[in-house]
Structure 1
Amino acid sequence: MMFAKTFGCVRFIYNKMLSDRLDYYKETGKKLHNTPAQYKEEFPWLKEVDSLALANAQMNLNKAYHNFLSNRKHFGKPRFKSRKNNRASYSTNNQKGSVRIEGHKVKLPKVGWVKLCQHRPLPENSIIKTVTI
C-alpha cells in the first residue's frame, strides 16, 4: 500500500510542478524554480511519503528541462506522467543509514522492511547511495 501511495505522490508532484512551470512561463516568460516542499502545505498527504522520493522527482523534472533546452532536436518537451503506465517507480537516497540491507530484506524510509530478491551480491563494505523501486 505504501508503494502505491509513494508512486502516486511522486507522479503527482512531477505533474504538478510541470504544470505550474508551464503556466508560469506562459504568463511571465520566465522560468519557475519550484520545490516539492512548497506543495506540502496545500497537499498535506505529501508528508506521508519519503521526502527524498519527491526531491528526486524534482531532479528528474529539472534534468528533463535541461536536456530539452540543451538539445531540442534530440530531446522532446517534458511530458506529464501517466497513471496508466505499468512501470511505476521511485528513487530514494540513503541518508545516515536510512536504507540498508540485512539478510534477504531491505529497509526503506517510511516503508520499513521489504523482502529482497537480490540477483547480484554487493561488494563488501559498499555504500548504498540510491535505491530505485
Structure 2
Amino acid sequence: MELLFKKSSNDPRPIYQQVAEWMLENIQSGNWQEGYQLRSENAFAAELNISRGTLRKAIDLLIGKGLLVRIQGRGTYVTTHKISYPFAQELISFAESMDFKGYNFTTKVIEKKVMRTSSLIQKNLTIEKKT
C-alpha cells in the first residue's frame, strides 16, 4: 500500500521538497522496492495534483541522492541500494554521506588497540618518538 501524499499549506517548504520527502518515505518504508518503476510523469503529476515541473524537481532531488534513476525512453526507477562512498569527490564524512542518501545506520567499534608507529608515520604525523 502506497503512502498518500498530502500537500500542507502550513509547511513552509516548497511543494517539490514535500513531494520528495513523501517519495523518500515510500522508498524507505519498502512500499517502493528496488526496481520499482514510477508512473509516467504526466500521470503521476495529475494523480498528485501538482505540476509536472514540480514533480520533476522532486524526482531530480532524489536522483541527486542516488535513490532514483531516470532511463531515457523507459522511465524512472528506484535504484538498487548500493552504498558507495565517493572518496576524494566530496569533502564529507561517511556518516554525512549516508544521512544525505537517507540511510539509517549505526556504527560499532570492532577493535581498539594501541600500536607502535613506524618512524615514517611518526615523521608524517609530527609525533615525537617515545621509548
| Coarse TM-score class (shorter-chain normalised) | 0.3 to 0.5
TM-score by length of 1: 0.32
Using CA pairs below 8 Å that are at least 6 residues apart, which structure has the higher relative contact order? 1
Structure with the bigger percentage of helix: 1
Task: Decide which structure has the larger Cα Rg and report it.
Answer: 2
Structure with the bigger percentage of strand: 1
TM-score by length of 2: 0.32
